[in-house]
Amino acid sequence: MVVFVDFQGFNYGNCSDTLTIKELAVFNTNKSEPKSFLFKPPEDLSTLPHRYQKQTDWLTHNFHGLSWNCGIYEYENLPEILHETTKNAKCIYVKGTEKRRLLLKRLPKTQIVNIEDLECPSLRYLREHFDTTCCVNHIIKNAVCAFENVQNLATWYNEYFTTQTLSGDDFSKEKTSCSCFCV
């Protein structure tokens, strides 16, 4: 089973160690619909330093449109939800080095591939070329939506691999570089 994962959130420090995931989307290719999870904040926004409060406000109003205070699932349930929705995955595809690195920390025994290494185009390009839907959790138009992203990644993957396949050896030749999920 192949699984596509994307998430959006707030980063208030150095790279993935301080990433707060707000929206997690998981698309299991054995199921017909992706799943989306919106997490409550792990702490009150007022406890963050002022510069991170401003960064959070900017991301909410200009990037992903997710409010810090919104959420359905308790944040401490994130690891369990991630494990449950990806168990039995032969391979997990994610877009971006930092997202891959974060998932490797949380799912160390699972093969996780940065789909960029397969020459997947930008999410903006995919959004413009595929007819997918953003979820209702965003407060701005044209928000970057994890639910929409996993649909687009799966669609691109299915179309891209209808004419070619990759062997397991190709996955071991992945490139690594550091790019933080920071604004």
Residue 175: what pLDDT? 31
The whole-angstrom separation of Cα 36 and Cα 148 is: 10
pTM for the model: 0.83
Q: Is residue 134 part of a domain?
A: yes
Q: What DSSP state is assigned to residue 108? A: T
Q: Which segments within the chain are labelled E, that is strand?
A: 2-11, 19-28, 35-38, 91-94, 112-114
Q: Is residue 182 part of a domain?
A: no
- Structural domain range at position 112: 2-171
Q: Is residue 52 part of a domain?
A: yes
The predicted-structure confidence for 10-42, as pLDDT tens digits, reads as follows 987 654 467 899 999 999 988 888 999 999 999
Q: Is residue 59 part of a domain?
A: yes
Q: Is residue 180 part of a domain?
A: no
Q: What is the CATH number of the domain that holds 7?
A: 3.30.420.10
Q: Is residue 179 part of a domain?
A: no
Q: Which segments within 44-163 are labelled E, that is strand?
A: 91-94, 112-114
Residues with Cβ within 8 Å of 53's Cβ and at least 6 positions away in sequence, in order, are 45, 46
The predicted-structure confidence for 63-113, as pLDDT tens digits, reads as follows 998 999 999 999 999 999 999 999 999 999 999 999 999 999 999 999 999
Question: Into how many domains does the chain fold?
Answer: 1
Q: Is residue 176 part of a domain?
A: no
The predicted-structure confidence for 120-171, as pLDDT tens digits, reads as follows 999 999 999 888 878 878 888 888 899 999 999 999 999 886 555 444 343 3
Residue 137: what pLDDT? 83
Q: Is residue 123 part of a domain?
A: yes
